[in-house]
Chains A and B, each alone.
Chain A
Amino acid sequence: MLTAGIDIGAKTIKIIILDHGRITAKNLIVAGYDLRESLKKAWADIEAQSGLKVDDMEKIIATGAGRKEAPYASEAITDISAAAKGAKALNNSVRTVIDVGAEEARAVKVDQSGRVVDFAINEKCAAGTGAFTEAMARALEVPLEELGPLSLQSTQAVSMSAQCAVFAESELVTMVHNKTSKPDIARAIHDAIADRIVSMVRRVGLEEKVMLIGGVARNIGFVTSLKRELETEVIVPEDCEYVGAYGAALAPAGK
Protein backbone atom coordinates (compact mmCIF):
# COMPACT_ATOMS: atom_id res chain seq x y z
CA MET A 1 0.00 0.00 0.00
CA LEU A 2 1.40 3.34 -1.01
CA THR A 3 0.83 6.41 1.10
CA ALA A 4 2.25 9.88 0.63
CA GLY A 5 2.86 12.66 3.10
CA ILE A 6 3.13 16.21 1.77
CA ASP A 7 4.53 18.94 4.00
CA ILE A 8 3.75 22.34 2.50
CA GLY A 9 6.06 24.68 4.31
CA ALA A 10 6.57 28.41 4.00
CA LYS A 11 9.65 27.95 1.90
CA THR A 12 9.78 24.36 0.69
CA ILE A 13 7.48 21.44 -0.06
CA LYS A 14 8.53 17.99 1.08
CA ILE A 15 7.02 14.73 -0.13
CA ILE A 16 7.59 11.29 1.37
CA ILE A 17 6.19 8.10 -0.14
CA LEU A 18 5.80 5.00 1.97
CA ASP A 19 5.30 1.49 0.65
CA HIS A 20 3.83 -0.53 3.52
CA GLY A 21 5.46 1.86 5.94
CA ARG A 22 8.87 1.89 4.27
CA ILE A 23 10.24 5.04 2.64
CA THR A 24 10.50 4.45 -1.10
CA ALA A 25 10.75 7.95 -2.50
CA LYS A 26 11.22 11.51 -1.33
CA ASN A 27 11.43 14.94 -2.89
CA LEU A 28 11.97 18.51 -1.78
CA ILE A 29 11.32 21.60 -3.89
CA VAL A 30 10.97 25.31 -3.36
CA ALA A 31 7.36 26.20 -2.59
CA GLY A 32 7.32 29.09 -5.02
CA TYR A 33 4.43 31.29 -5.83
CA ASP A 34 1.95 28.91 -7.46
CA LEU A 35 1.25 25.94 -5.23
CA ARG A 36 -0.37 23.81 -7.90
CA GLU A 37 2.48 24.33 -10.33
CA SER A 38 5.07 23.52 -7.70
CA LEU A 39 3.29 20.33 -6.66
CA LYS A 40 2.91 19.23 -10.27
CA LYS A 41 6.62 19.60 -10.72
CA ALA A 42 7.34 17.81 -7.44
CA TRP A 43 5.27 14.82 -8.52
CA ALA A 44 6.86 14.83 -11.95
CA ASP A 45 10.27 14.64 -10.26
CA ILE A 46 9.14 11.73 -8.12
CA GLU A 47 7.86 9.89 -11.18
CA ALA A 48 11.18 10.41 -12.94
CA GLN A 49 13.01 9.24 -9.83
CA SER A 50 10.96 6.20 -8.86
CA GLY A 51 8.30 5.60 -11.48
CA LEU A 52 5.57 6.29 -8.90
CA LYS A 53 2.67 8.52 -9.89
CA VAL A 54 0.36 10.56 -7.71
CA ASP A 55 -2.57 8.40 -8.83
CA ASP A 56 -0.80 5.32 -7.47
CA MET A 57 -1.21 6.61 -3.95
CA GLU A 58 -3.87 5.07 -1.79
CA LYS A 59 -3.83 7.97 0.59
CA ILE A 60 -2.25 11.40 0.52
CA ILE A 61 -2.06 13.36 3.74
CA ALA A 62 -0.97 16.96 3.89
CA THR A 63 0.61 18.96 6.67
CA GLY A 64 2.44 22.26 7.01
CA ALA A 65 1.37 25.88 6.70
CA GLY A 66 -0.28 25.32 3.33
CA ARG A 67 -2.03 22.04 4.13
CA LYS A 68 -5.54 23.39 3.73
CA GLU A 69 -4.95 24.47 0.14
CA ALA A 70 -3.18 21.25 -0.80
CA PRO A 71 -4.42 19.83 -4.06
CA TYR A 72 -4.34 16.01 -4.33
CA ALA A 73 -4.47 15.45 -0.56
CA SER A 74 -7.45 13.68 0.95
CA GLU A 75 -6.84 14.79 4.52
CA ALA A 76 -4.62 17.01 6.58
CA ILE A 77 -2.97 16.83 9.98
CA THR A 78 -1.38 19.62 11.99
CA ASP A 79 2.36 20.26 12.01
CA ILE A 80 2.38 19.37 15.68
CA SER A 81 0.92 15.89 15.05
CA ALA A 82 3.15 15.34 12.04
CA ALA A 83 6.28 16.30 13.95
CA ALA A 84 5.32 14.09 16.89
CA LYS A 85 4.49 11.08 14.72
CA GLY A 86 7.52 11.40 12.50
CA ALA A 87 9.99 11.90 15.32
CA LYS A 88 8.61 9.05 17.43
CA ALA A 89 8.67 6.70 14.44
CA LEU A 90 12.33 7.48 13.85
CA ASN A 91 13.29 7.02 17.48
CA ASN A 92 10.97 5.59 20.08
CA SER A 93 12.74 7.18 23.05
CA VAL A 94 12.07 10.73 21.85
CA ARG A 95 10.02 12.80 24.30
CA THR A 96 10.74 16.36 23.15
CA VAL A 97 10.58 17.35 19.49
CA ILE A 98 11.94 20.67 18.32
CA ASP A 99 10.87 21.66 14.80
CA VAL A 100 12.44 24.79 13.34
CA GLY A 101 11.23 25.77 9.90
CA ALA A 102 11.63 28.74 7.61
CA GLU A 103 8.87 30.81 9.18
CA GLU A 104 7.62 28.81 12.14
CA ALA A 105 9.07 26.93 15.07
CA ARG A 106 7.51 24.44 17.47
CA ALA A 107 8.39 22.54 20.61
CA VAL A 108 6.31 19.38 21.08
CA LYS A 109 6.23 17.12 24.11
CA VAL A 110 5.14 13.52 23.56
CA ASP A 111 4.57 10.70 25.98
CA GLN A 112 5.56 7.05 25.74
CA SER A 113 2.74 6.18 23.39
CA GLY A 114 3.50 9.09 21.06
CA ARG A 115 0.55 11.18 22.20
CA VAL A 116 1.09 14.95 22.16
CA VAL A 117 1.16 16.11 25.77
CA ASP A 118 2.01 19.78 25.33
CA PHE A 119 3.30 22.13 22.65
CA ALA A 120 4.43 25.70 22.06
CA ILE A 121 4.43 27.50 18.72
CA ASN A 122 6.16 30.56 17.41
CA GLU A 123 4.43 31.52 14.22
CA LYS A 124 4.01 35.28 14.07
CA CYS A 125 7.55 36.43 14.57
CA ALA A 126 10.60 35.87 12.41
CA ALA A 127 12.95 35.64 15.38
CA GLY A 128 13.65 31.99 16.20
CA THR A 129 12.95 30.77 12.66
CA GLY A 130 14.94 30.18 9.50
CA ALA A 131 13.93 33.63 8.28
CA PHE A 132 16.16 35.07 11.00
CA THR A 133 19.30 33.24 9.86
CA GLU A 134 18.53 34.08 6.26
CA ALA A 135 18.24 37.79 6.98
CA MET A 136 21.40 37.73 9.09
CA ALA A 137 23.38 35.82 6.46
CA ARG A 138 22.36 38.45 3.92
CA ALA A 139 23.37 41.27 6.24
CA LEU A 140 26.71 39.63 6.96
CA GLU A 141 27.18 38.99 3.24
CA VAL A 142 27.83 35.29 3.73
CA PRO A 143 25.98 32.56 1.79
CA LEU A 144 23.43 30.84 4.03
CA GLU A 145 25.05 27.40 3.79
CA GLU A 146 28.35 28.84 5.00
CA LEU A 147 26.96 30.62 8.03
CA GLY A 148 26.95 27.49 10.19
CA PRO A 149 30.52 26.35 9.48
CA LEU A 150 31.72 29.95 9.85
CA SER A 151 30.30 30.21 13.34
CA LEU A 152 32.27 27.15 14.44
CA GLN A 153 35.44 29.16 13.90
CA SER A 154 34.40 31.64 16.54
CA THR A 155 36.86 32.29 19.33
CA GLN A 156 34.60 34.12 21.73
CA ALA A 157 30.96 34.47 22.60
CA VAL A 158 29.54 37.89 21.81
CA SER A 159 25.97 38.53 22.81
CA MET A 160 23.31 40.00 20.60
CA SER A 161 20.68 41.82 22.59
CA ALA A 162 18.12 42.31 19.83
CA GLN A 163 15.71 39.49 19.22
CA CYS A 164 13.80 41.05 16.37
CA ALA A 165 15.36 40.12 13.04
CA VAL A 166 15.11 43.71 11.81
CA PHE A 167 16.82 45.17 14.88
CA ALA A 168 19.38 42.40 14.93
CA GLU A 169 20.38 43.45 11.47
CA SER A 170 21.23 46.98 12.68
CA GLU A 171 23.04 45.51 15.66
CA LEU A 172 25.02 43.31 13.29
CA VAL A 173 26.08 46.32 11.26
CA THR A 174 27.32 48.00 14.43
CA MET A 175 29.26 44.87 15.36
CA VAL A 176 30.92 44.80 11.97
CA HIS A 177 31.77 48.46 12.40
CA ASN A 178 33.29 47.70 15.80
CA LYS A 179 35.53 45.14 14.13
CA THR A 180 33.93 42.08 15.71
CA SER A 181 35.09 39.10 13.64
CA LYS A 182 32.67 37.47 11.22
CA PRO A 183 32.93 34.04 12.91
CA ASP A 184 32.11 35.62 16.28
CA ILE A 185 29.13 37.44 14.77
CA ALA A 186 27.99 34.22 13.10
CA ARG A 187 28.08 32.50 16.46
CA ALA A 188 26.13 35.33 18.07
CA ILE A 189 23.44 34.89 15.43
CA HIS A 190 23.03 31.20 16.20
CA ASP A 191 23.16 31.80 19.94
CA ALA A 192 20.34 34.32 19.55
CA ILE A 193 18.04 31.88 17.77
CA ALA A 194 18.99 29.02 20.07
CA ASP A 195 18.15 31.23 23.04
CA ARG A 196 14.69 31.83 21.71
CA ILE A 197 14.10 28.18 20.86
CA VAL A 198 15.31 27.03 24.27
CA SER A 199 12.86 29.36 26.02
CA MET A 200 10.09 27.80 23.96
CA VAL A 201 11.28 24.31 24.89
CA ARG A 202 11.37 25.19 28.59
CA ARG A 203 7.73 26.22 28.35
CA VAL A 204 6.75 22.64 27.52
CA GLY A 205 9.45 21.21 29.75
CA LEU A 206 12.61 19.49 28.57
CA GLU A 207 12.63 15.71 28.70
CA GLU A 208 15.13 13.41 27.00
CA LYS A 209 15.49 12.19 24.36
CA VAL A 210 15.39 15.44 22.39
CA MET A 211 15.10 15.43 18.60
CA LEU A 212 15.60 18.42 16.31
CA ILE A 213 13.87 18.45 12.94
CA GLY A 214 13.11 20.95 10.20
CA GLY A 215 15.30 22.67 7.64
CA VAL A 216 17.22 24.79 10.14
CA ALA A 217 18.57 21.58 11.72
CA ARG A 218 20.94 21.42 8.74
CA ASN A 219 22.70 24.44 10.14
CA ILE A 220 25.60 23.07 12.17
CA GLY A 221 26.09 26.42 13.88
CA PHE A 222 22.53 26.41 15.17
CA VAL A 223 22.74 22.79 16.33
CA THR A 224 25.95 23.55 18.23
CA SER A 225 24.46 26.60 19.94
CA LEU A 226 21.30 24.67 20.78
CA LYS A 227 23.16 21.74 22.35
CA ARG A 228 25.27 24.16 24.35
CA GLU A 229 22.26 25.98 25.77
CA LEU A 230 20.10 22.96 26.40
CA GLU A 231 22.99 21.11 27.98
CA THR A 232 21.68 17.83 26.60
CA GLU A 233 22.35 15.68 23.59
CA VAL A 234 20.16 16.47 20.61
CA ILE A 235 19.35 13.88 17.96
CA VAL A 236 19.34 15.28 14.44
CA PRO A 237 18.02 12.71 11.94
CA GLU A 238 19.60 12.51 8.53
CA ASP A 239 16.69 13.83 6.48
CA CYS A 240 15.64 16.35 9.09
CA GLU A 241 13.42 18.38 6.77
CA TYR A 242 11.36 15.38 5.80
CA VAL A 243 10.24 14.32 9.25
CA GLY A 244 7.00 16.30 9.06
CA ALA A 245 6.09 14.75 5.71
CA TYR A 246 7.09 11.35 7.10
CA GLY A 247 4.78 11.82 10.06
CA ALA A 248 1.95 12.79 7.72
CA ALA A 249 2.52 9.73 5.54
CA LEU A 250 2.31 7.53 8.64
CA ALA A 251 -0.91 9.14 9.78
CA PRO A 252 -3.53 6.64 8.52
CA ALA A 253 -1.55 3.74 9.99
CA GLY A 254 -1.31 5.51 13.34
CA LYS A 255 -5.05 6.14 13.63
Chain B
Amino acid sequence: MAEEYWRWTESRWTDPDLSWQDGRIITAGVDVGSVSSQAVILVDGRLYAYANTRTGSDSPNSAINVMNWALEDTDGLTLDKIQYTVGTGYGRVNVPFAQRTVTEIACHARGANFMYGPTVRTVLDMGGQDCKAIHCDDKGKVTNFLMNDKCAAGTGRGMEVFADLLGVSINEMGELSLQVEEEPPPVSSTCVVFAKSEAGGLLRAGWPKEKVLAAYTSAMARRVVSLLERIGLEEDFVITGGIAKNKGVVLRLEKELGVKALEAKYDTQIAGALGAALFAKDLAEKEKSKKK
Protein backbone atom coordinates (compact mmCIF):
# COMPACT_ATOMS: atom_id res chain seq x y z
CA MET B 1 0.00 0.00 0.00
CA ALA B 2 1.56 3.27 -1.11
CA GLU B 3 -0.57 5.48 1.09
CA GLU B 4 -1.77 4.25 4.45
CA TYR B 5 -5.42 5.21 4.38
CA TRP B 6 -6.22 2.92 7.24
CA ARG B 7 -3.92 4.76 9.65
CA TRP B 8 -6.06 6.46 12.29
CA THR B 9 -4.62 8.96 14.78
CA GLU B 10 -2.82 7.53 17.79
CA SER B 11 -2.90 9.63 20.94
CA ARG B 12 -1.81 10.05 24.54
CA TRP B 13 -2.87 12.41 27.33
CA THR B 14 -2.02 13.33 30.93
CA ASP B 15 -4.26 15.29 33.27
CA PRO B 16 -2.23 18.44 33.99
CA ASP B 17 -4.13 19.10 37.25
CA LEU B 18 -3.40 15.79 38.96
CA SER B 19 -0.19 14.76 40.61
CA TRP B 20 0.37 11.07 41.17
CA GLN B 21 2.70 11.65 44.08
CA ASP B 22 -0.28 12.67 46.23
CA GLY B 23 -2.18 9.54 45.28
CA ARG B 24 -2.85 6.74 47.75
CA ILE B 25 -3.52 4.03 45.20
CA ILE B 26 -2.32 3.98 41.61
CA THR B 27 -3.76 1.38 39.24
CA ALA B 28 -3.60 0.67 35.53
CA GLY B 29 -5.61 -1.09 32.88
CA VAL B 30 -4.27 -2.35 29.57
CA ASP B 31 -6.57 -3.34 26.73
CA VAL B 32 -4.78 -5.25 23.98
CA GLY B 33 -7.07 -5.54 21.00
CA SER B 34 -6.36 -7.15 17.68
CA VAL B 35 -6.24 -3.75 16.01
CA SER B 36 -5.53 -1.20 18.76
CA SER B 37 -4.17 -1.17 22.30
CA GLN B 38 -4.80 1.26 25.14
CA ALA B 39 -3.28 1.83 28.56
CA VAL B 40 -5.04 3.86 31.26
CA ILE B 41 -3.57 5.01 34.57
CA LEU B 42 -5.81 5.97 37.50
CA VAL B 43 -4.78 7.80 40.63
CA ASP B 44 -7.24 7.08 43.45
CA GLY B 45 -9.79 6.12 40.81
CA ARG B 46 -9.40 9.36 38.89
CA LEU B 47 -8.28 9.39 35.26
CA TYR B 48 -4.66 10.47 35.23
CA ALA B 49 -3.14 9.40 31.90
CA TYR B 50 -3.79 7.24 28.88
CA ALA B 51 -2.35 6.18 25.52
CA ASN B 52 -4.00 4.72 22.45
CA THR B 53 -1.91 3.03 19.78
CA ARG B 54 -2.08 0.49 16.97
CA THR B 55 -1.38 -3.07 18.07
CA GLY B 56 0.39 -3.99 14.84
CA SER B 57 1.72 -7.45 14.21
CA ASP B 58 3.99 -7.38 17.26
CA SER B 59 1.23 -8.09 19.79
CA PRO B 60 3.36 -9.67 22.56
CA ASN B 61 5.08 -6.32 23.00
CA SER B 62 2.15 -4.02 22.39
CA ALA B 63 1.13 -4.08 26.05
CA ILE B 64 4.46 -2.81 27.29
CA ASN B 65 4.75 -0.37 24.39
CA VAL B 66 1.41 1.30 25.02
CA MET B 67 2.06 1.31 28.77
CA ASN B 68 5.41 3.01 28.28
CA TRP B 69 3.80 5.60 26.07
CA ALA B 70 1.16 6.29 28.70
CA LEU B 71 3.91 6.72 31.30
CA GLU B 72 5.92 9.09 29.13
CA ASP B 73 4.59 12.45 30.18
CA THR B 74 3.80 11.64 33.82
CA ASP B 75 6.38 13.49 35.85
CA GLY B 76 8.51 10.47 36.62
CA LEU B 77 5.83 7.80 37.21
CA THR B 78 7.22 4.35 36.48
CA LEU B 79 5.69 0.89 36.13
CA ASP B 80 6.95 -0.34 39.48
CA LYS B 81 5.00 2.37 41.28
CA ILE B 82 1.70 1.08 39.90
CA GLN B 83 0.13 -1.12 42.55
CA TYR B 84 -2.23 -3.19 40.45
CA THR B 85 -2.70 -3.74 36.74
CA VAL B 86 -5.51 -5.55 35.01
CA GLY B 87 -5.18 -6.78 31.43
CA THR B 88 -8.11 -7.12 29.07
CA GLY B 89 -8.97 -7.46 25.40
CA TYR B 90 -8.33 -10.09 22.83
CA GLY B 91 -4.61 -10.15 23.66
CA ARG B 92 -4.98 -10.01 27.43
CA VAL B 93 -2.73 -13.02 27.83
CA ASN B 94 0.03 -10.80 26.50
CA VAL B 95 0.07 -8.33 29.39
CA PRO B 96 2.94 -9.90 31.37
CA PHE B 97 2.97 -7.21 34.07
CA ALA B 98 -0.74 -7.55 34.88
CA GLN B 99 -1.79 -9.18 38.15
CA ARG B 100 -5.09 -10.33 36.71
CA THR B 101 -7.06 -10.44 33.48
CA VAL B 102 -10.74 -9.61 33.08
CA THR B 103 -12.84 -10.02 29.94
CA GLU B 104 -13.47 -6.97 27.81
CA ILE B 105 -17.23 -7.27 28.28
CA ALA B 106 -17.01 -6.49 31.99
CA CYS B 107 -14.35 -3.84 31.42
CA HIS B 108 -16.28 -1.96 28.77
CA ALA B 109 -19.37 -1.75 30.95
CA ARG B 110 -17.36 -0.45 33.87
CA GLY B 111 -15.44 1.98 31.69
CA ALA B 112 -18.60 3.31 30.07
CA ASN B 113 -20.15 3.81 33.51
CA PHE B 114 -17.16 6.00 34.45
CA MET B 115 -17.04 7.87 31.16
CA TYR B 116 -20.73 8.59 30.78
CA GLY B 117 -22.18 8.28 34.26
CA PRO B 118 -24.52 5.97 36.18
CA THR B 119 -27.46 6.52 33.82
CA VAL B 120 -25.86 4.39 31.11
CA ARG B 121 -27.77 1.17 30.47
CA THR B 122 -26.71 0.12 26.97
CA VAL B 123 -23.14 0.14 25.67
CA LEU B 124 -22.39 -0.57 22.05
CA ASP B 125 -18.70 -1.14 21.52
CA MET B 126 -17.55 -1.28 17.94
CA GLY B 127 -13.99 -2.44 18.01
CA GLY B 128 -11.36 -3.38 15.52
CA GLN B 129 -12.42 -6.97 15.03
CA ASP B 130 -15.54 -7.34 17.09
CA CYS B 131 -18.82 -5.74 18.03
CA LYS B 132 -20.28 -5.89 21.54
CA ALA B 133 -23.74 -5.01 22.82
CA ILE B 134 -23.80 -4.74 26.63
CA HIS B 135 -26.48 -3.91 29.19
CA CYS B 136 -25.33 -2.70 32.58
CA ASP B 137 -26.72 -1.35 35.81
CA ASP B 138 -26.00 1.97 37.49
CA LYS B 139 -22.73 0.62 38.90
CA GLY B 140 -21.46 -0.58 35.53
CA LYS B 141 -22.11 -4.23 36.30
CA VAL B 142 -23.04 -6.31 33.25
CA THR B 143 -26.61 -7.60 33.17
CA ASN B 144 -26.78 -8.81 29.57
CA PHE B 145 -24.29 -9.04 26.76
CA LEU B 146 -23.68 -10.28 23.28
CA MET B 147 -20.45 -10.18 21.32
CA ASN B 148 -19.77 -10.91 17.71
CA ASP B 149 -16.19 -11.42 16.67
CA LYS B 150 -16.60 -13.83 13.80
CA CYS B 151 -17.56 -11.47 11.06
CA ALA B 152 -15.91 -8.30 9.83
CA ALA B 153 -19.21 -6.60 9.03
CA GLY B 154 -19.68 -3.75 11.46
CA THR B 155 -16.11 -3.74 12.74
CA GLY B 156 -13.15 -1.41 12.37
CA ARG B 157 -11.37 -3.81 10.04
CA GLY B 158 -14.34 -3.61 7.70
CA MET B 159 -13.94 0.16 7.70
CA GLU B 160 -10.21 -0.10 7.03
CA VAL B 161 -10.88 -2.29 3.98
CA PHE B 162 -13.14 0.41 2.59
CA ALA B 163 -10.74 3.21 3.43
CA ASP B 164 -8.17 1.40 1.30
CA LEU B 165 -10.60 0.64 -1.51
CA LEU B 166 -11.74 4.23 -1.84
CA GLY B 167 -8.41 5.86 -1.08
CA VAL B 168 -9.93 7.86 1.76
CA SER B 169 -8.17 8.38 5.08
CA ILE B 170 -10.06 6.55 7.81
CA ASN B 171 -10.27 9.68 9.94
CA GLU B 172 -12.26 11.38 7.18
CA MET B 173 -14.57 8.56 6.21
CA GLY B 174 -17.33 9.57 8.57
CA GLU B 175 -17.60 13.15 7.36
CA LEU B 176 -17.30 12.13 3.72
CA SER B 177 -20.13 9.62 3.96
CA LEU B 178 -22.45 12.41 5.07
CA GLN B 179 -21.76 14.55 2.02
CA VAL B 180 -24.58 13.05 0.00
CA GLU B 181 -27.74 14.88 -0.92
CA GLU B 182 -29.88 11.82 -0.76
CA GLU B 183 -29.13 8.66 1.15
CA PRO B 184 -28.49 5.86 -1.38
CA PRO B 185 -29.74 2.31 -0.73
CA PRO B 186 -27.33 0.27 1.40
CA VAL B 187 -25.04 -2.24 -0.33
CA SER B 188 -26.80 -5.59 -0.46
CA SER B 189 -24.08 -7.73 1.10
CA THR B 190 -23.20 -7.55 4.75
CA CYS B 191 -20.06 -9.56 3.99
CA VAL B 192 -17.20 -7.07 3.72
CA VAL B 193 -15.50 -9.10 0.99
CA PHE B 194 -18.63 -9.13 -1.16
CA ALA B 195 -19.51 -5.56 -0.27
CA LYS B 196 -16.08 -4.60 -1.52
CA SER B 197 -16.72 -6.20 -4.95
CA GLU B 198 -20.14 -4.60 -5.01
CA ALA B 199 -18.59 -1.21 -4.22
CA GLY B 200 -16.03 -1.72 -6.99
CA GLY B 201 -18.90 -2.19 -9.42
CA LEU B 202 -20.63 0.96 -8.17
CA LEU B 203 -17.47 2.99 -8.62
CA ARG B 204 -17.11 1.69 -12.16
CA ALA B 205 -20.72 2.63 -12.79
CA GLY B 206 -19.79 6.21 -11.96
CA TRP B 207 -20.87 6.52 -8.32
CA PRO B 208 -18.82 9.18 -6.49
CA LYS B 209 -16.85 8.11 -3.42
CA GLU B 210 -19.23 9.77 -0.96
CA LYS B 211 -22.17 7.83 -2.35
CA VAL B 212 -20.40 4.48 -2.18
CA LEU B 213 -19.26 5.28 1.34
CA ALA B 214 -22.78 6.26 2.34
CA ALA B 215 -24.16 2.99 0.92
CA TYR B 216 -21.57 0.93 2.77
CA THR B 217 -21.89 2.82 6.06
CA SER B 218 -25.64 2.35 5.87
CA ALA B 219 -25.27 -1.40 5.50
CA MET B 220 -22.84 -1.57 8.41
CA ALA B 221 -25.14 0.43 10.65
CA ARG B 222 -27.99 -1.98 9.83
CA ARG B 223 -25.86 -4.97 10.66
CA VAL B 224 -24.91 -3.49 14.02
CA VAL B 225 -28.53 -2.62 14.79
CA SER B 226 -29.61 -6.23 14.19
CA LEU B 227 -27.02 -7.35 16.71
CA LEU B 228 -28.25 -4.83 19.25
CA GLU B 229 -31.86 -5.83 18.68
CA ARG B 230 -31.08 -9.25 20.06
CA ILE B 231 -30.65 -7.87 23.56
CA GLY B 232 -32.73 -4.74 23.16
CA LEU B 233 -31.97 -1.08 23.70
CA GLU B 234 -32.50 0.67 27.03
CA GLU B 235 -31.51 4.30 27.53
CA ASP B 236 -29.13 5.91 28.21
CA PHE B 237 -27.28 4.61 25.19
CA VAL B 238 -23.58 5.10 24.50
CA ILE B 239 -21.14 4.02 21.82
CA THR B 240 -17.51 3.19 22.58
CA GLY B 241 -14.62 1.97 20.50
CA GLY B 242 -12.92 3.38 17.45
CA ILE B 243 -15.95 3.54 15.18
CA ALA B 244 -17.69 5.82 17.67
CA LYS B 245 -15.45 8.49 16.13
CA ASN B 246 -17.04 7.89 12.72
CA LYS B 247 -19.90 10.39 12.55
CA GLY B 248 -21.35 8.70 9.47
CA VAL B 249 -21.89 5.44 11.36
CA VAL B 250 -23.07 7.09 14.58
CA LEU B 251 -25.69 9.30 12.92
CA ARG B 252 -27.08 6.42 10.87
CA LEU B 253 -27.21 4.19 13.93
CA GLU B 254 -29.04 6.83 15.93
CA LYS B 255 -31.51 7.30 13.09
CA GLU B 256 -32.17 3.58 12.74
CA LEU B 257 -32.55 3.10 16.51
CA GLY B 258 -34.49 6.29 17.07
CA VAL B 259 -32.25 7.06 20.05
CA LYS B 260 -29.40 9.49 20.48
CA ALA B 261 -26.16 8.31 22.03
CA LEU B 262 -24.67 10.38 24.86
CA GLU B 263 -21.88 12.76 23.88
CA ALA B 264 -18.36 11.53 24.48
CA LYS B 265 -16.15 13.63 26.73
CA TYR B 266 -13.24 11.20 26.61
CA ASP B 267 -11.52 9.27 23.83
CA THR B 268 -14.04 6.51 23.09
CA GLN B 269 -11.33 3.92 22.55
CA ILE B 270 -10.16 3.86 26.15
CA ALA B 271 -13.35 2.39 27.65
CA GLY B 272 -11.94 -1.11 27.99
CA ALA B 273 -8.63 -0.11 29.54
CA LEU B 274 -10.40 2.35 31.83
CA GLY B 275 -12.77 -0.32 33.10
CA ALA B 276 -9.80 -2.62 33.62
CA ALA B 277 -8.03 0.06 35.67
CA LEU B 278 -11.16 0.48 37.81
CA PHE B 279 -11.34 -3.26 38.44
CA ALA B 280 -7.67 -3.06 39.33
CA LYS B 281 -8.54 -0.56 42.04
CA ASP B 282 -11.34 -2.78 43.40
CA LEU B 283 -9.11 -5.81 43.43
CA ALA B 284 -6.20 -3.93 45.01
CA GLU B 285 -8.46 -2.68 47.80
CA LYS B 286 -9.91 -6.15 48.29
CA GLU B 287 -6.41 -7.54 48.70
CA LYS B 288 -5.50 -4.84 51.17
CA SER B 289 -8.57 -5.49 53.31
CA LYS B 290 -7.86 -9.24 53.30
CA LYS B 291 -4.36 -8.65 54.58
CA LYS B 292 -5.59 -6.69 57.58
Indicate if A touches B (C-beta under 8 A).
Answer: yes
Residues of A with Cβ closer than 8 Å to B? Answer: 33, 103, 124-126, 131-132, 135, 163-167, 170, 173-174, 176-177
Contact status A124-B57, CB under 8 Å:
no
Contact status A126-B129, CB under 8 Å:
no
* Shortest Cβ distance from residue A245 to the other chain B in the assembled complex, whole angstroms: 22
Q: A33-B204, A170-B129, A177-B57 are in contact. Are A164 and B150 (CB under 8 A)?
A: yes
Q: A163-B150, A170-B34, A170-B129 are in contact. Are A125 and B157 (CB under 8 A)?
A: no
Q: What 3 A-B pairs are tightest by C-beta distance, nearest first? A: A126-B193, A166-B152, A177-B57
Contact status A166-B194, CB under 8 Å:
no
Chain B, residues 52-89, CB within 8 Å of chain A (1/0): the string is: 00000111000000000000000000000000000000
Report Cα–Cα, A177/B197, bound state, in Å.
Answer: 28
Report Cα–Cα, A103/B201, bound state, in Å.
Answer: 15
Can you name 10 A-B pairs with beta carbons within 8 Å? Answer: A33-B204, A103-B194, A126-B191, A132-B193, A135-B193, A164-B151, A167-B129, A167-B152, A170-B35, A177-B57
Contact status A166-B189, CB under 8 Å:
no
Report Cα–Cα, A164/B158, bound state, in Å.
Answer: 11
B246 CB–A CB distance under 8 Å: no
Contact status B151-A125, CB under 8 Å:
yes
Report Cα–Cα, A174/B59, bound state, in Å.
Answer: 9
Residues of B with Cβ closer than 8 Å to A? Answer: 34-35, 57-59, 129, 150-152, 157-158, 161, 189-194, 197, 201, 204
Q: A164-B151, A170-B129, A170-B157 are in contact. Are A131 and B193 (CB under 8 A)?
A: yes
Contact status B201-A33, CB under 8 Å:
yes
Contact status B158-A166, CB under 8 Å:
yes
Across the interface, name the chain A residue whose C-beta is closest to B157: A166
Contact status B57-A174, CB under 8 Å:
yes
Contact status B193-A167, CB under 8 Å:
no
Residues of chain A with a CB closer than 8 A to B152's CB: 164-167
Report Cα–Cα, A176/B158, bound state, in Å.
Answer: 21
Q: A170-B129, A174-B57 are in contact. Are A165 and B201 (CB under 8 A)?
A: no
Across the interface, name the chain A residue whose C-beta is closest to B201: A33
Residues of chain B with a CB closer than 8 A to A165's CB: 152, 192-193
Report Cα–Cα, A163/B191, bound state, in Å.
Answer: 12
Across the interface, name the chain A residue whose C-beta is closest to B161: A166
Residues of chain B with a CB closer than 8 A to A124's CB: 189-191, 194
Residues of chain B with a CB closer than 8 A to A131's CB: 193-194, 197
Report Cα–Cα, A125/B152, bound state, in Å.
Answer: 10
Report Cα–Cα, A146/B242, bound state, in Å.
Answer: 37
* Shortest Cβ distance from residue B219 to the other chain A in the assembled complex, whole angstroms: 12
* Shortest Cβ distance from residue B157 to the other chain A in the assembled complex, whole angstroms: 5
Residues of chain A with a CB closer than 8 A to B194's CB: 103, 124, 126, 131
In this complex, the member of B35, B191, B197 whose beta carbon has the largest number of chain A beta carbons within 10 angstroms is B191
Residues of chain B with a CB closer than 8 A to A103's CB: 194
Report Cα–Cα, A76/B191, bound state, in Å.
Answer: 27
In this complex, the member of A126, A131, A176 whose beta carbon has the largest number of chain B beta carbons within 10 angstroms is A126
Report Cα–Cα, A78/B290, bound state, in Å.
Answer: 69
Report Cα–Cα, A177/B57, bound state, in Å.
Answer: 7
Residues of chain A with a CB closer than 8 A to B57's CB: 173-174, 176-177
Report Cα–Cα, A166/B157, bound state, in Å.
Answer: 7
* Sample of 13 more A-B contacts, CB < 8 Å, known A165-B152, A165-B193, A177-B57: A124-B191, A124-B194, A125-B191, A126-B193, A164-B150, A164-B152, A164-B192, A166-B157, A166-B158, A166-B161, A170-B34, A170-B35, A173-B57
* Shortest Cβ distance from residue B181 to the other chain A in the assembled complex, whole angstroms: 26
